[in-house]
C-alpha cells in the first residue's frame, strides 16, 4: 500500500512547514488528489490517522478533494474530463486519449496553531 509512504512524506512536509512558521500543532490539512493519480482517498485517510500519531499532525483533520482528470481526445480533438484511466471520450467514445491533468497530489491548505 503506497498510501502509507505518501502519508509519511506528506506529514514530514507539513511538519517542516509548520515548524518553520513557529507552530507546534497542525489542526487541519487539505489535500487535492487527481482522480488519475493512483491514490485511493479512503486508504490515504485511513493511513493518515495512524501515521500522524506522535507528530504535530496528531488529531488533525484531513480534508481530501479529488480533482477529475483532463485528457485530450485525438479522435474528436476536444479536451475532456475523465475520472479514471481507460475511460472512453465522453464526446465521441474514442479511446485515443492523452492524459493532461489529474495525476497530482498536493497540500493546498493547512491550519496551524
Closest-CA residue to 76 (of 98, 43, 61): 98
Tell me what the mean pLDDT of segment 68-85 comes to: 97
Placement of cell 496551524 in the chain: 112
Whole-number pLDDT of residue 20: 96
Q: Which of the four CATH numbers 3.30.70.260, 3.30.2320.50, 3.30.413.10, 3.40.47.10 does domain 2-68+102-112 have?
A: 3.30.2320.50
pTM of structure: 0.85
> Residue 5 in 3-state DSSP?
helix
User: Is a pLDDT exceeding 70 seen at residue 54?
Assistant: yes
Q: Which residues contact 109 (CB under 8 A, 6 or more apart)?
A: 28, 29, 30, 63
Whole-number pLDDT of residue 2: 85
User: Is a pLDDT exceeding 90 seen at residue 1?
Assistant: no
Local structure of residue 90 (DSSP, 8 states): T
Burial group, residue 108, by CB count within 10 angstroms (0-12, 13-18, 19+): exposed
Residues above pLDDT 90, as percent of the chain: 98
Please state, rounded to an integer, the average pLDDT across all residues of the chain: 95
What length is written for the chain? 113
What whole-number distance in Å separates Cα of residue 41 and Cα of residue 81?
Answer: 19
Whole-number pLDDT of residue 30: 98
Amino acid at each position: 500500500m503506497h498510501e502509507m509512504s505518501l502519508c509519511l512524506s506528506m506529514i514530514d512536509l507539513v511538519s517542516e512547514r509548520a515548524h518553520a512558521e513557529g507552530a507546534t500543532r497542525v489542526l487541519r490539512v487539505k489535500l487535492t488528489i487527481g482522480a488519475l493519480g493512483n491514490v485511493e482517498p479512503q486508504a490515504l485517510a485511513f493511513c493518515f490517522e495512524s501515521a500522524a500519531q506522535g507528530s504535530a499532525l496528531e488529531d488533525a483533520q484531513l480534508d481530501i478533494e479529488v480533482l477529475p482528470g483532463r485528457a485530450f481526445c485525438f479522435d474528436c480533438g476536444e479536451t475532456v474530463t475523465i475520472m479514471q484511466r481507460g475511460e472512453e471520450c465522453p464526446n465521441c467514445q474514442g479511446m485515443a486519449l492523452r492524459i493532461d491533468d489529474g495525476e497530482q497530489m498536493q497540500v493546498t491548505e493547512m491550519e496551524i496553531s
